[in-house]
Amino acid sequence: AMVSTQSTGNFGQLAKEHPWLLTEKLVCKPDQLIKRRGKLGLIKVNVGYDDAVEWITDRMGKEIQIEQCSGELNTFIIEPFVPHAQEDEYYVCIYSTKEGDTLYFYEEGGVDIGDVDAKAHRLDITIGNYPSAAEITEKLLTGVPDIRKPVVANFVASLFKLYSDLYFTYLEINPLVVTNNQIYALDMAAKLDDTADYLCGDKWKVSEFPAPFGRKSWPEEEYIKDLDEKSGASLKLTILNPDGRVWLMVAGGGASVIFSDTVCDMGGASEIANYGEYSGAPSESQTYEYAKTILSLMTRRPNELGKCLIIGGGIANFTNVASTFKGIVRALTEYKEQLVNNKVSIFVRRGGPNYQEGLQKMKNCGDMLGVPMYVFGPEEHMTSIVGMALGKTPIPETQEYKSGIKDNFLFGKHDVNRRSKNSECEQGEEPKEKKPRGDNMNKTPAPKPESRALSPAQYNLYDKTTTCFVYGLQLKAVQGMLDFDCACRRDIPSVAGIINPFSANHNVRLYFGSKEVNVPVYKNMSEAIQRHPEASVIISFASLRSAYTSTMEMLKYPENIKCIAIIAEGIPENLTKKVNKLAAEKGVSIVGPATVGGVKPGCFKIGNTGGMLDNILNSKLYRPGSVAYVSRSGGMSNELNNIISLNTNGVYEGVAIGGDRYPGTTFMDHIKRYNANPDVKMIVVLGEVGGIEEYEIVSAIKSGEISKEVVAWCIGTCADYFSTEVQFGHAGSSANSKSETASAKNLTLRNAGAHVPDSFDDLGKTIRKVYNELVDNGEIVPQEEVPPPQVPIDFKWAQELGLVRKQTSFISGICDERGEELLYAGVPMSDVIKENLGVGGVISLLWFQRRMPEWAYKFIELCLIVTADHGPAVSGAHNTIVTARAGKDLVSSLTSGLLTIGDRFGGALDESARQFSAAWQKGKTPLEFVNEMRNAHKYIQGIGHRVKSLNNPDQRVTALADFASANFPATPLFDYARQVERITTSKKPNLILNVDGAIATLFVDLLYQSGSFSAEEARDLIQIGCLNALFVAGRSIGFIGHYLDQKRLKQGLYRHPWDDIAYMTPANE
C-alpha cells in the first residue's frame, strides 16, 4: 500500500481498500529513491497497523539530512512482514553492460552485506542469451543449500528473463528471502530504459515515478516535461535552487552541461538556480513557453544583489537561431517590468544558422528592456560569458559579432586568416619548450608496445572519393552535404542515392554547386546497392522506432557498407547492443546512435554535421588541418570545430560518437585511427560524466599505445556540486560510481599525461598551447591559407535571411499558416475557438477580412440553416443524387449539384441585391421600380415562388424577418423589398419576397448597418458576388446529405423512365 502526504488523513480508507493491513504484521519505509534505508533507520519492521500509522505520521512531512542532501519525507510504502532467519537472506543483482548483462548473486543479504563486487559470484551473459537454471546453479549458487538450489535457480532464471523482456537496465534485490520453498523480494531497486516505452509501456503499468529524495517536484518542471513529450524538440528543466541568482537558458544538451560546469567551476555552485536545455530546433512558440517559464521562476523572489540570466549555446547545426530567439524575445518583452525590478543582467552567446539576425534581435530587445544585456557571437569562446556574469572576467566595452554571409550573396568571401584574438603568444612571451607527456608527474612515458600498424584503409573511414546513401527523405541534409562537397572541390557528389521505403523510384532535384543534379530515390537497400556498389557509408535518419530494423537490414551488406551513422536518439539500449554486436562481427563501424555524425574536412561530412555552409567556411572545414577530435556530444562538435579553427590550423577529422550509453564505436576506436594516421598531429577528446570509456584512453596513454598529444576534458563536473541526482541531456551522462564522475576522469587523464584544462573555459587556451608547441618543434608546418570556392546560397535560405527578393505569384489576404498558429484574417485559431465565434464568425473573417457584431454572425448561420436544403426534387439535389447513384465519389457528386446553381436556381441572391440596392439608392419608389422592371421585360430577382404565396407563406422568410426585427439596428432595404412585395402580390399571390430576396436585402442591410464596412466597401462586396456564396455554402450541406443518404440506402444506377420522356424525333419517311 502506498501512503503519501495527500493520503495521511485517510488511513481508515486505506485499511478498507487493503484489509490485510489489519491482520498481518507489517513493514513500512519511505519510497523516495533513498539508498541504504536500513542503515539510516528508515525501515520499521514487524509492527501492527496502528504502530505503522504512528511511525509514518511521525515522519511524514519532516525534513531530514542524508549525507549532503536534505529533503522532506512525503511518500511511504507499507508491505507484509515476512518472518525469516538471517541465513534465509540472499542478494541478487543484474545490470547492463556494453557486452551484455552481468548477474551477481551472494548467499548473504541485508544491510550488512558489504562490498558486493568483491564478495558476490558473477555470471556474464552475452547479448541475446538467457542463462539456464543449470548454469546459474553451477556459477552462482555454490553457497546455497542443495535443497534450495532448484527454486532459487529457477527464480533467478525467470528474473533475468523478466529483466531482459521488460527492458530493465538495473535490478537489485536485497534481501531476497527464501523460506519454506517460497521466495520474497523484500527490497528492490531498479531502473527501466524509458526509451522502450513504445515497446512495453503497457507491461510496465507504472503510473508515475517518485521524485528523488531532496528535490521538490515543481509544477513548472511538469509543464516543461509535458511540452517536451508533445514536441519533436528537446525541452528540459530541473529547479536546483529557486533562490539562486544565476539562471540558465541554454541551447543544446552538451552545452547545457558545460555552462553548468563553468558556473560551478568559477565558484557559483551555491547560486546556480536551474539546469535545463532546449534543443532539436524547437519552434518559436515552444521557446517562448520555455523562456516564459524560466522568467516566471526567476523573477518570483527578488534579491538585493540582483540576478543574471545566461542565454547560451554552442554553434547550432541546423536550428534557425533567429527563429528560436523570437520566442525568447517575446518572453523577455512580456517580463520587462519584472526583469527591471529584479535587477537582472542578461548575457547572450550563440552561433549557427542565421545567428546574426538572432543576435541583433536580442540586442534590440536589450535596448528596449532597459536592463544590461551583453550579446556575443561565435568569435567569443562559448563559456566566456559565464565569467562576465559572475564578475570573474571583465566585460568587453563593445560586443561585436560578424555579419557573415549577409556581407555577400555567394559563400566563400570569408576571412581566411580568422584566428582567436588570443591565438598568438602574449606579447613578450617566449614559446615554451616542449615537455614530454607525464612531465607534470615526473614520469617517463612508457614505450609504445609492439602492435600491427593500421593501414590507410583502416584508419580512413572516408576520403575525397567516398560516396554514401542517405536513409530517409532528408533533402535539406543532403543539400548541405552537396554544398560541402562543392566547397571541398570534390569532383563528384558524396551522396549516391536516397533510400526511402515510403516513396521510391523517382529522382529529387538538388544542386551540386550551381549545377542541378538528380539524386535517385530507392525503395530498399538491395536495389540501392545493386545500382551503386561503390557506396560505403550509410547515414540513417530512420526514426527511433524503425532504426533498429533498418540498421539490421543495412548490416546484411558488409562487403559494401563499411560505416553506418545512426542519427536517431532514444533507441532502447537492448536493441542498440544487438546492433553493435552484429556490426562488430561484420566489421562495420557504427557512429551513433544519438549523433549528428562526423566530418572529414576537404573530404566528406555526415548529414547536418558542421552546420550551414557559412559555419563550414568560418571553421575552415573545406580543407584539412592537423587536429582530430572525438566527442560524445553532437551539438558540441560544431563548437569544437570553431574552437580548433580559432586556435590551430584546423580540424583534420571529427566524430561525435553519440550520447547514448552504448555508442557503436568508442573514443578509443577513433583515437586508434587518429594515432595511426600520420596527417593527424594532435588529438582532442571531449568526454562526459558516466561510463568508463575515458579510462581506456588513460590506459593507452600510460602504455604508449597513444603516442600523440591528447587534449582532454570531460563535461559534467557540476554533478559533484548538486545535492541530488540530475539526469543530463544524454542518456549515458549519469555516473553510477565515483569513478564515472567527470572530475575523477579529468584527474585521472591529467595524471596519465593528457593535457587537461582547469575548466572548459580554458579548453581553447590549452589546445592553442599544445598546437604552438608542435609548431615550434616543427611537427606541424602551417600552410598558406587557400580561399574556398564560391558556393551559391540556396534561394530559400537567402530569402529567409532577407538577402534576395522575389515577386510573389499569389496574394492571400485572409489566412496565414506560416507561423506557430493558423491565422484567420489575423486572428489566431485559438482565439476563434476561445471566443466562440462560430461558423458565422469564421465566414466573417475569411470572406470579409474582419470581425462583425455577434448578431451578424448569428444571421450568417441562420442563412446557412435556411438554405441548407429544399428537398430532392430541385435541380441541384437531383444532379447530386443521380451522380452518387452512378457510383461517383463525394466531390464529384457535390460538384455536379453545385454546377446547377445560377440565376434560375439558387443564384439569384447577388442580382437581387444589386436590383433592390440600385433602385433604393436612386430614390425610386417601390412602384416606380416595379414598373421600370416590367417595361424592361426583366424579372425582379428575389420575387416569386412556385409553391409559396401570401396564403401559404415561406416560413424561412418569416424566420429571417423575425431575427432581423429583433437584432438588426435597421432594415431599410428589406423594408423597401416588403413594399415591392405588396405591389407584386396584388397582381399574383405567389409573387412574394422569396428566401433569396429576403437574404439578399437583409445582407445588404447588414453590410450598411453593422458599422463594419464603409459605403464603398459595401458596394464592392455586392458587386463581386459574395451573397451567392451564402447559398453555395448552405446548400453544400444539403447536397452532401443527399450523397450520404443515397450511399447509405445503397441505391443503384439511376435510369430515367421512358414514360416520363416526350420523344420528339423526326418521323421515319
Residues 6 or more apart whose Cβ sits within 8 Å of residue 371: 339, 340, 344, 345, 346
Q: In what order do the strands lie in the sheet with 515-522?
A: 506-512, 515-522, 495-499, 468-471, 537-540, 563-566, 589-591
Q: Measuring CA to CA, how many Å separate 192 from each of 163, 166, 229, 282, 563?
A: 9, 8, 18, 27, 30
Q: Shortest CA distance to 942 belongs to which of 968, 918, 971, 977? A: 977
Which residue type occupies 883?
Answer: T
Grid coordinates representing 545 are 522506432
Q: For the beta carbon of residue 1013, count every other beta carbon within 10 angstroms.
A: 18
- The Cα 608–Cα 589 span in angstroms is 19
Q: What angle do CA 420, 424, 428 make, to 5 degrees?
A: 145
Contact 628, 767 (CB under 8 A): no
- The Cα 356–Cα 362 span in angstroms is 10
498 beta partners = 470, 521
Q: Is 190 in a helix, a strand, or coil?
A: strand
Q: For the beta carbon of residue 432, count every other beta carbon within 10 angstroms.
A: 11
179 beta partners = 182
Burial class (CB in 10 A: 0-12, 13-18, 19+), 35: exposed
- The Cα 879–Cα 881 span in angstroms is 5
Strand 89-97 relative to strand 589-591: parallel, antiparallel, unpaired? unpaired
268 beta partners = none
Contact 21, 3 (CB under 8 A): no
Q: Shortest CA distance to 175 belongs to which of 183, 185, 165? A: 185
Q: Is 324 in a helix, a strand, or coil?
A: helix
Residue labelled with grid coordinates 418521323: 1067
| Cα atoms in the 13 Å half-sphere on the side-chain side of 952 | 8
For 733-750, the three-class secondary structure string (H helix, E strand, C coil) is: CCCCCHHHCHHHHHHHHH
Given its phi and psi angles, is residue 521 left (phi above 0), alpha (psi -120 to 50 degrees) or beta? beta
Q: Shortest CA distance to 1041 belongs to which of 899, 900, 894, 867? A: 894
Residues 6 or more apart whose Cβ sits within 8 Å of residue 256: 236, 248, 250, 275, 276, 277, 728, 729
Question: Please, which contacts does 99-104 make with residues 24 or more away whose CB atoms are closer than 8 Å?
Answer: 99/124, 99/126, 99/127, 100/124, 100/125, 100/126, 100/127, 100/128, 100/129, 100/577, 101/125, 101/160, 101/163, 101/164, 103/131, 103/136, 103/140, 103/156, 103/160
**Residues with catalytic function:** 730
Q: Shortest CA distance to 783 belongs to which of 625, 677, 653, 617? A: 625
- The Cα 387–Cα 263 span in angstroms is 8
Contact 473, 510 (CB under 8 A): no
Which residue type occupies 956?
Answer: R
Task: Write out the DSSP string of 755-813.
Answer: B--SSGGGHHHHHHHHHHHHHHTTS--PPPP-PPPPBPPPHHHHHHHTS-----S---S
- Omega prior to 353 cis, within 30 of 0: no
- The Cα 322–Cα 307 span in angstroms is 25
